[in-house]
Structure 1
Amino acid sequence: MATPAGAEAAAAGGGGGGKKKLIIIIAAVLLLVIIGGGAALMLMKKKQHAEDEDGAEAPAAAETGHAKPKPGTPPTFVPLDPFTVNLADKEVDRFAQIGVTLEVGDPKTADQLKAYMPAIRSNVLMVLSHKTSAELLTREGKEKLAREILRESVRPMGIELDDEEDEDAAATSKKKKKKKKAVESPVTQVLFSTFIVQ
């Protein structure tokens, strides 16, 4: 009878050793996974830091949510319905009919602009209605209008662009010591498809 009791004791002792081995193996695997995950995280942070140092384009694109288009890819154009407005001339009634197309880097940005189109059209109409025919008939006036339309077209998206006149004034005055971070506009250019002043 001593044999069966000895066999049970040997089986119980062998089973306890197996459980210890299993716990040690599981702990070793978990330790390897944790170390591997930490190493992968460090490598990803190091790679991202290197990309940030290589070019300042990555932070600007991350802030605005708009990626730079790849070189060689054609831009996307967002045509706006033509604008017909009364001008601010006081001596005579004059009006302008202006067709505007916005150039953006990719179709995703074009879709985002289309979502804000009523606000964009309203802003552009407000800019146009404050212009006189004398301002719009010169090349400089058209270029200034294009800059103002660019600024007003991204304002509904929460992007505030500095006006060039404001930048010139800030450069001449020494009051501003801290340089503002440049904001990248999703609209790269404003193009006129029609421009009639009567």
Structure 2
Amino acid sequence: ATWFFMHSAQSKPVAAPQIAAISKQPAVFEPLLPAFVVNYNQNGRQRYMQVNITLLGRDRADLEALKVHMPVIRNNLVMLFSGQDFATLASPVGQEMLRQKATASIQEVAHKELGKVVIEQLLFTNFVLQ
């Protein structure tokens, strides 16, 4: 009986998920130049952080439109970076948390100004603490 129901002529094959419809456009990378340099004062010693950033998006035109708002984006990132605890940034967890906050900061500006988040991720392509 089971064979009959599973192989009857009236049963229709189960449709496979439409992966092609969901697939993303190729990644587009946009570096933010120049690198960000932030000074810290930790225990009476001068410290600094230098970060190179690249944005990951899927639409070149959207990334180009976002460039108009780069002064606001850079300002927000400098303020975010300078407000961090230097000791926290020394750990991979602290760096990842900062990366996520920076991504959210740019997505917020993009959503406010362009009506969409534009970038998927912000990537640290170089991260130096001294």
- Normalised to the residue count of structure 1, the TM-score between the two structures is 0.49
Cα distance in 2, alignment partners of residues 146 and 131 from structure 1: 12
Partner of 2:42, secondary structure, is: coil
Structure 1 stretches (4+) deviating beyond 4 angstroms? none
The answer to which structure has the higher helix fraction is: 1
Match of 1:195 in 2: 127
**Structure 1: segments with no counterpart, 5+ residues:** 1-69, 160-182
Matches within 5 A, 1:29-178: 71=23, 73-81=25-33, 82-87=35-40, 89-159=42-112
- Alpha-carbon shift at residue 72 of structure 1 (Å): 5.5
Preserved CA contact (<8 Å) 2:110 2:118:
no
* Distance 1:76-1:196 versus aligned 2 partners, 3 A rule: same
What do you get for the CA RMSD once the two structures are aligned? 2.1
Tell me the secondary structure at the aligned position of residue 38 of structure 2.
strand
- Residue type of the partner of 2:47? R
User: In the comparison of the two structures, how many residue pairs are matched?
Assistant: 106
Q: 1 CA distance for matches of 2:111 and 2:58?
A: 18
Mapped to 2, the partners of 1:103 and 1:90 lie a distance apart of 36
Give the share of equivalent positions with the same residue, in percent: 29
- Measure, in 1, the Cα distance between the counterparts of 2:48 and 2:89: 11
**Any idea what SS the aligned residue of 1:87 has?**
strand
TM-score (norm 2): 0.72
Compare the two structures and name the one with the higher strand fraction: 2
Name the SS for the 1:97 alignment partner: strand
Q: Which runs of 5+ in 2 are unaligned?
A: 1-21
Conserved? CA contact 1:87–1:130, under 8 Å: no
The Cα offsets for residues 58-108 of structure 1, whole Å up to 9 and x where unpaired, read as xxxxxxxxxxxx726321111112001112534321001100111111111
Q: Which has the larger radius of gyration?
A: 1
